[in-house]
Amino acid sequence: MLDIRFIRDNPDLVQRTAEQKRIELSVTDLLNWDQKRRDLLKQTEDLRAHRNRLTQAVATAMQQGMQQDSEPLKEQVKGINKQLTVIESELTHATQQCEELMTLVPNVVSPDTPVGRDDSDNVEIRQVGTVPAFAFQTLDHVQLGELHDLIDIPRGVKTAGSRNYFLKGAGLYLHLAVQRLALDLLTSYGFTAMDVPVMVRPEALTKTGFFPTGQDQTFEITGEDKWLVGTSEVSLVSYYSDEIIDVTEPIKLAGMSACFRKEIGSAGRDVRGLYRVHQFAKVEQVVLCENNAEVSERILQEITGHAEEILQLLELPYRVMSVCTGDMSQKTYKQYDIETWMPSRQSYGETHSSSNILDFQARRSNIRYRDADGKLQFCHTLNNTAVASPRILIPLLENHQLADGSIYIPKALRPYMGGLDKLVLSKDIK
């Protein structure tokens, strides 16, 4: 969340950002409730102080044997108590209204974030690698998966409904291999590998900025007051909630977990194959650092670079996009998406996302550290998708298919695939 003092000083900026991020919020309503809350709080404090003085006067009168003089004072105390009952109820209501509206307030965006409505307005920063030119009729990842017996989508749908799948044999091993490659690379850069809870309390999602705006994308476990996470970012940030931590050196965490997403709003989009599914796996980078914009910007470039390095190890062409305001989430200050070339789409498809949140999550989660002067400050938090599978299998299979139907395995993956250098068909393509 933002500091309420910042909102009071910059109402137009906050309102404009909410509109750019397509969040329904009236900053005017928020500030009106905030003013009412403050007015009621002052009335409450003044009445309590007056009551305390009267109570002391009653006690003094009783000690001096002036009981008759104490009776009017007691009546005044009773009157104040009645007023407090009404005002405290109003204060509770005003506070609740403020808190509800505050959960909708978006983070501001960086000066270099492009203004736009959706992903079509994202701006390309760079392209890396060469898009392959095939001299033969290519197959998409579903056809390749079926030919090599890697993927079974029909039985996934039969078992679990739409947007579900089975990975089999080498398909499963590729799925695990890209995760192990990412995890080992991040470990070499000083990240602590973690297996995390994927069922969390709703407050963990609220504190990390995924609720209320992303609640429609999240699976609820009915009757348990638990929800399934769409990223281990939720669990990794919540690991330190309500704590004072040491960020003399940035805290680097790498979460490896299953993830779940409803994909509300994507009906009819990407229905074929593995691009948009309900269950997937990710290796997620999360970094907590000092409250310093230069430091967090440097880390944003670093973690984006880690994701790029993984794609380079996978020998895949990609591009880095600066995400516009309308394609950003509520919590994000600055974001890059990495899109990898997918031959079956004849375009780049998003495979990675990298975000600087500043202190937005830390304020919600109450994660603080002591600066050089011993003053408590809220941390900055950042996150990045090191790899997400099975989506990454789309470009991996499609870009590395060969004319004879076999699939080349990048050198970096071979140690995780038992030394296998390619997947070979057991029968000819008809």
Beta bridge partners of 285: 254, 384
CA distance 187 to 386: 12
Catalytic annotation present for 353? yes
Instruction: Find the catalytic residue in 276, 319, 345, 370.
Output: 276
Please give the mean pLDDT across all residues of the chain: 95
pLDDT band for position 66 (50/70/90)?
Answer: confident
Quote the DSSP letter at residue 113: S
Is residue 370 part of the annotated active site? The answer reads no
| Choice among 60-74, 122-136, 277-291 with the minimum mean pLDDT | 60-74
Query: Taking 60 as the threshold, does the pLDDT of residue 428 lie above it?
Result: no
Quote the strand ranges of 46-186, DSSP E.
123-128, 151-152, 166-167
Please say whether the dihedral angle defined by the alpha carbons of residues 279, 303, 239 and 376, taken in this order, is positive or negative.
Answer: negative
CB atoms under 10 Å from CB of 71, counted, come to: 12
Three-class SS of residue 119?
helix
Average of per-residue pLDDT across 350-356:
98
pLDDT digits (tens, 9 = 90+) for 8-46: 999 999 999 999 999 999 999 999 999 999 999 999 999
Residue in 350, 355, 365, 398 annotated catalytic: 350
Q: Note the pLDDT tens digit of each residue in 163-214.
A: 999 999 999 999 999 999 999 999 999 999 999 999 999 999 999 999 999 9
Residue 269 pLDDT:
73
Measured distance CA(254)–CA(246) in Å, rounded: 18
Active site residue 162: no
Q: Which residues of 307-328 are buried (b: 16+ CB within 10 A; e: fewer)?
A: bbbbbebbbbbbbbbbbbbbbb
Query: Can you tell me the mean pLDDT for 245-256?
Result: 98
Q: Is 426 a catalytic residue?
A: no
The amino acid at 143: Q
* Polymer length of the chain: 430
CB-based contacts of 203, cutoff 8 Å, min separation 6:
none
Q: Where are the domains of the chain?
A: 4-102, 119-423
**Cβ-Cβ contacts under 8 Å for 39 (sequence gap 6 or more):** none
Report the pLDDT value the prediction gives residue 426, as an integer from 0 to 100: 67
Which CATH fold topology does 4-102 show? Helix Hairpins (1.10.287)
pLDDT tier, 290 (very low <50, low <70, confident <90, very high otherwise): very high
Residues 303 and 236: their CA atoms lie apart, in Å, by: 16
Find, among 92, 102, 122, the residue nearest to 213 by Cα.
102
DSSP 8-state code for residue 216: G
pLDDT at 52 over 70: yes
- The model's confidence at residue 430, banded by pLDDT at 50, 70 and 90, is very low
What pTM did the predictor assign? 0.92
44-52 mean pLDDT? 93
Residue 302 Cα to chain centre, angstroms: 18
- Condensed to tens digits (0 to 9), the pLDDT of residues 201-223 reads 999 999 999 999 999 999 999 99
Active site residue 363: no
Pair 220, 227: CB distance under 8 Å: yes
At residue 69, does pLDDT exceed 80?
no
Average pLDDT of the segment spanning 363-386: 97
Q: Percentage of the chain with pLDDT > 70?
A: 98
Predicted confidence at residue 207, as pLDDT, reads: 97
Quick check: 268 pLDDT over 50?
Answer: yes
- Report residue 419: phi and psi, to 5°: 85, 0
Joined together, the tokens standing for residue 311 give 């794609």
Query: What one-character DSSP code corresponds to residue 413?
Result: G
The residue annotated as part of the active site, out of 37, 51, 261, 364, is 261
> What band does 382 get if pLDDT is binned at 50, 70 and 90?
very high
Read off the pLDDT of each residue in 154-170 and give the average, rounded to a whole number.
96
What's the confidence (pLDDT) of residue 73? 82
Of residues 353, 355, 365, 389, which has the active-site annotation? 353
> What CA–CA distance (Å, rounded) separates 117 from 112?
16
Topology of the domain comprising 119-423: BirA Bifunctional Protein; domain 2 (3.30.930)
